[in-house]
Amino acid sequence: MLTDISTEMMLPLFPIFTVQVLGAAPAVLGLIEGLAESAASLLKVFSGWWSDRTGKRKPLIVGGYWLSTVAKPFLALASTWTHALGVRFTDRVGKGIRTSPRDALLADSCAPGVRGNTFGLHRALDTVGAILGPSFAFLLLLFLGFRDIFLLASIPAILAVFVLVFFVREVRRKRAPKLSFRAGLGSLSPGFRRYLTVVTLFAEELDKHKHKWDTYQGPECYRTSADRNRSSWF
């Protein structure tokens, strides 16, 4: 939930900041999101396979969350859209690394009979974060500029990494049989492989992308005088 709060504080502001403050064209915004989300989708497949092969989930989970957390504050220093691309791409790489091992750890940590409850609670907390994040960003926008909010948004993400490192335990489990990635894909049915191809290309929720495209031309009032001044510093 903490990471969701952090991400959702930045996500509604990212299109407006990239287009209006950094001066990127709308097509560039699509390029940024396409590259970032494609990287996340591809890495989910590889990170899940690797965590099964090694029998270890936590290092990949912590590494993925840590990578996203480190990247986020640098958006406050962005002066061109390429900087924003680097931050967004790195953030999504972190998501791709952590997502599959995290879900596997959740499944490993609970009895089969309560897995539905476990993942339901996880999704509920995600939703809470998706509500609180934009709410905090909107309130802060009344007093602060984009760059200040991006810095503050890093705080929940740092807390999330702290919780993971000190309070989440690895569940002992047997390693999966050593199977190459290609052999693993080959064992799947042709129909399921086609499905995975489509999911890899278009995995992220379309409504989020629609929201980004609908909001990149946000009201001029969102671009505060503080952001106009600070954008000339970099």
Give pLDDT tens digits for 191-202: 877 777 776 666
CA distance 87 to 118: 31
H-helix or E-strand containing 127? Answer: helix 115-141
Single-letter code of the amino acid located at 171: V
Q: Ranked by mean pLDDT, which of 25-34, 191-200, 211-220 comes out on top?
A: 25-34
The pLDDT mean for the chain works out to 82
User: Does residue 173 sit within a domain?
Assistant: yes
Residue 27, domain member (yes or no): yes
CA 89 to chain CA centroid, Å, is 9
Task: Mark 129-147 as b/e (b = at least 16 C-beta within 10 Å).
Answer: bbebbbebbeebbeebbbb
Q: Positive or negative, the Cα torsion across 225, 228, 232, 233? A: positive
Residue 234 maps to a domain = no
Which CATH number covers residue 81? 1.20.1250.20
* Within-domain flag for 177: yes
| Position 233 in a domain | no
In a domain, 52, yes or no: yes
Q: Which residues of 85-120 are buried (b: 16+ CB within 10 A; e: fewer)?
A: bbbbbbbbbbbbbbbbbbbbbbeeeeeeeeeeeeee
pLDDT at site 224: 42
Could you report the per-residue pLDDT of 67-100, keeping only the tens digit for each? 999 999 999 999 999 999 999 999 999 999 999 9
Burial class of residue 205, CB neighbours in 10 A (0-12, 13-18, 19+): exposed
Cβ 126 vs Cβ 139: under 8 Å: no
Question: What is the pLDDT confidence band of residue 176, given thresholds at 50, 70 and 90?
Answer: low
Of 118, 123, 95, nearest in space to 107 by CA: 118
Binning pLDDT at 50, 70 and 90, where does residue 177 land? Answer: low
Question: Is 232 within a domain?
Answer: no
Interval 50-60: pLDDT, tens: 998 888 899 99
Show the domain range for 102: 2-225
Closest CA to 6 of 104, 209, 14, 35: 14
What does the pLDDT read at residue 208?
A: 47
Does residue 162 lie within any of the structural domains? yes
CA distance 122 to 117: 9
Domain count, the chain: 1
Q: Is the pTM of this model over 0.75?
A: yes
